[in-house]
Chains A and B, each alone.
Chain A
Amino acid sequence: MATDTEVDLTPRLKTDEMLINMGPQHPATHGVLRLILTLDGEIVRHTEPILGHLHRAQEWQGQNRTWFQYQALIDRVDYLSGMFTSWAMARAAEVVDGCEVPERAEYLRVMVSEMNRITSHLLWLGTYLIDLGAMFGFPFYPFREREKLLELFEEIAGQRMMFNYIRIGGVMRNPKDAWLSKLKKFTEEFPDRVDEYEAIVTENPIFLKRTKGVGILRKELGMDYGITGPSIRASGVNIDLRRTKPYSVYPKLKFDVPVNDRDGDTFDRYIFRIREMRQSNEIIKQCLDMLPQGEISGKKQIAGLRVKAGEGFAAVESPRGTLGCYIISNGSDRAYRIKWRNPSFCNLSILPELLKNHPIADVMAIFGSIDVILPDVDR
């Protein structure tokens, strides 16, 4: 038009951000996390995680159940590594109570929890491949080894997943010799199996494409958010409580803690878990050789189990990081306050930072790689 001297510079095509609601029911949110993603095309600009869809009031239960009852409950805090949750609370209660744990019990604890670390990582490996889209085939292989370990767990603790094996003051049951020899057989086979996984996964070009350079976690950022476990070790922070704050019989055992020398990406987090499985296998082997004879519990496992008054914090290195338990006891048969410090809860808080400016397909790759268990987040 003749009167229009100015040129309209505003873009003609208006683009808009799209909000997409992922979860609480979504095949890749590992349960019931809900993510509200703001997408620009396929690029994630903002993430709002909404938790608590599995909030089962574990801490409230801790105040309302006796110690003996609560021991059975806490396996459900982190169902993939129940040994560690039991152990964290047992350690905290032992620290407060001041009771001695027999050495045999300590060795058994280390053994079963390292087994549990392997099962946890194996399940992670399977589900992670599902997250990356290998829906059939590979995800089934880690489960094969996992089932073998679960059979061993079942034999020693009576349950496949909810063990209730590590108790305040010791462990529940003495393993039979046959069990130990079965475990030995497993430890001998296992490295070959890990080689097999690595052959399928680590050299798979599509897997490498999907994971390398994706979701880089800067060391400082990770420390700011209090990330622990393999996720931060893959980014070069040497924090493994088994070495940095040694507990139990770990100082007597020989094993490496693999630590990266640069900021880790998704692939590093994968490869460090694989390495950790190998180390755990070594630890089990050593424990089998060094297992002493003796008592297995320093405290009588009775319904009226009491913990002396006091407060204390103790932590163990779970497959996901520092799993801590803060106990305030008033000397009665139940806790005054139990606070869980869950690695998944803290690790998940970094998710919005990691997802920023990644395409939507990487949401799964990154979210899977930090290995979050939802009941561990929501309790």
Chain B
Amino acid sequence: MSETPAAKPPEEPKGPGLCGQFLKDHGIATTRLPDSCGVETIEIDGAHLEAAMKLLRGSSEIKLDYLVAVSGVDSADTFDSVYQLWSYSNNNELIIKVRVKKTDVVEGQLPLVPSLARFWSAANWHERETYDLVGIRYYGHPYLRRILNVWDWDGHPLRRDYKQLVDALNDKAPGSFR
């Protein structure tokens, strides 16, 4: 259960893709990750996320104006915040990842990623959900509260080290069903 994704076969580092080049032109550094199933995937530093998103959304040629989803992933040594970007008007696609190293996270605190909810309403509930389930704190979010679980829930269920609450309502151990 706690296996990490198998290491990818090392790919040749390609040059920046369409969106990576566009961001580079506007002075935002990105790292190109291996394409996920043919979709350009870039890693970006949290500090530049908001600026990059504004650029990508506003530009007329890229026009990635459709934020499909924000996901949180508890990877082997990082917490990833993954943004799927599409466009309403053309066929561009982009996946942006913001990675926070687990070693950088202060003990007892949550990893921090800037929030997009202030200027992109679609991000609002997705970020709340990711905060709820994976435990990534989106700073600058107007209303960052748990959305699916009750408000004073302990822990973040989709973390690999989550210990399930056992009580009168739910006392069978996970996996006992199978």
* A residues near B95, Cβ cutoff 8 Å: 313
Interface string of B133-164 (1 = CB under 8 A from A): 10000000000001111100000011000000
Assess the A59–B158 pair: CB atoms within 8 A: yes
A window 334-361: CB within 8 A of B: 334, 336-337, 339, 341, 345-346, 348-350
The contact sample of 16 A-B pairs, CB cut-off 8 A, is: A52-B148, A55-B148, A60-B158, A64-B174, A69-B178, A224-B120, A313-B95, A324-B84, A334-B1, A336-B4, A336-B5, A339-B73, A345-B129, A349-B121, A349-B124, A379-B148
* A residues near B66, Cβ cutoff 8 Å: 223, 226, 239
Taking the closest CB of chain B, its distance from the CB of A105, in whole angstroms, is 20
Taking the closest CB of chain B, its distance from the CB of A272, in whole angstroms, is 17
A300, CB-defined interface residue at 8 Å: no
* B residues near A310, Cβ cutoff 8 Å: 8, 36-37
* B residues near A330, Cβ cutoff 8 Å: 3-6
B125, CB-defined interface residue at 8 Å: yes
Number of interface residues of B (CB under 8 A): 40
Cα–Cα distance between A332 and B4 once the two chains are bound (Å): 10
A202, CB-defined interface residue at 8 Å: no
Interface string of B65-89 (1 = CB under 8 A from A): 1111101011000000010100010
Cα–Cα distance between A89 and B2 once the two chains are bound (Å): 22
If A55-B149, A225-B121 touch, whether A315 touches B88 (CB-CB below 8 Å) is no
A-B contact count (CB 8 A): 108
* A residues near B82, Cβ cutoff 8 Å: 326, 339
Binding site for B on A (CB under 8 A): 51-52, 55, 57, 59-60, 63-65, 69, 95-96, 223-226, 237, 239, 244-245, 309-315, 322, 324, 326, 328-332, 334, 336-337, 339, 341, 345-346, 348-350, 378-379
**Interface of chain A, helix or strand or loop or mixed?**
mixed
If A310-B37, A331-B6, A349-B124 touch, whether A315 touches B148 (CB-CB below 8 Å) is no
Cα–Cα distance between A350 and B120 once the two chains are bound (Å): 12
**Residue of A with least CB distance to B125:** A349
Taking the closest CB of chain A, its distance from the CB of B41, in whole angstroms, is 9
If A95-B37, A226-B68 touch, whether A309 touches B8 (CB-CB below 8 Å) is yes
Assess the B37–A64 pair: CB atoms within 8 A: no
Cα–Cα distance between A376 and B6 once the two chains are bound (Å): 31
Assess the B157–A57 pair: CB atoms within 8 A: yes
**Residue of A with least CB distance to B91:** A245
Assess the B88–A223 pair: CB atoms within 8 A: yes
* B residues near A336, Cβ cutoff 8 Å: 3-5
Assess the B148–A226 pair: CB atoms within 8 A: no
Assess the B5–A309 pair: CB atoms within 8 A: yes
Assess the A311–B37 pair: CB atoms within 8 A: yes
Assess the A313–B5 pair: CB atoms within 8 A: no
Taking the closest CB of chain A, its distance from the CB of B89, in whole angstroms, is 8
* A residues near B8, Cβ cutoff 8 Å: 309-310
B window 27-50: CB within 8 A of A: 36-37, 39
B55, CB-defined interface residue at 8 Å: no
Cα–Cα distance between A124 and B8 once the two chains are bound (Å): 45
Taking the closest CB of chain B, its distance from the CB of A316, in whole angstroms, is 13
Assess the B37–A96 pair: CB atoms within 8 A: yes
* A residues near B15, Cβ cutoff 8 Å: none
* A residues near B146, Cβ cutoff 8 Å: 52
Taking the closest CB of chain A, its distance from the CB of B120, in whole angstroms, is 7
* B residues near A69, Cβ cutoff 8 Å: 178
Assess the A337–B73 pair: CB atoms within 8 A: yes
B23, CB-defined interface residue at 8 Å: no
Assess the B125–A312 pair: CB atoms within 8 A: no
Cα–Cα distance between A334 and B1 once the two chains are bound (Å): 8
If A226-B66, A336-B3 touch, whether A51 touches B73 (CB-CB below 8 Å) is no
* B residues near A348, Cβ cutoff 8 Å: 125
B175, CB-defined interface residue at 8 Å: yes
* B residues near A64, Cβ cutoff 8 Å: 1, 174-175
B112, CB-defined interface residue at 8 Å: no
For the A-B complex with A51-B148, A349-B124 known, give 17 more contacts whose Cβ atoms are closer than 8 Å.
Answer: A63-B158, A225-B121, A226-B121, A245-B91, A311-B5, A313-B69, A313-B84, A315-B68, A322-B68, A324-B68, A324-B69, A326-B84, A339-B69, A339-B71, A339-B73, A339-B82, A341-B69
**Residue of B with least CB distance to A336:** B5
Taking the closest CB of chain A, its distance from the CB of B51, in whole angstroms, is 18
**Residue of A with least CB distance to B150:** A52
* B residues near A57, Cβ cutoff 8 Å: 157
* B residues near A60, Cβ cutoff 8 Å: 133, 157-158
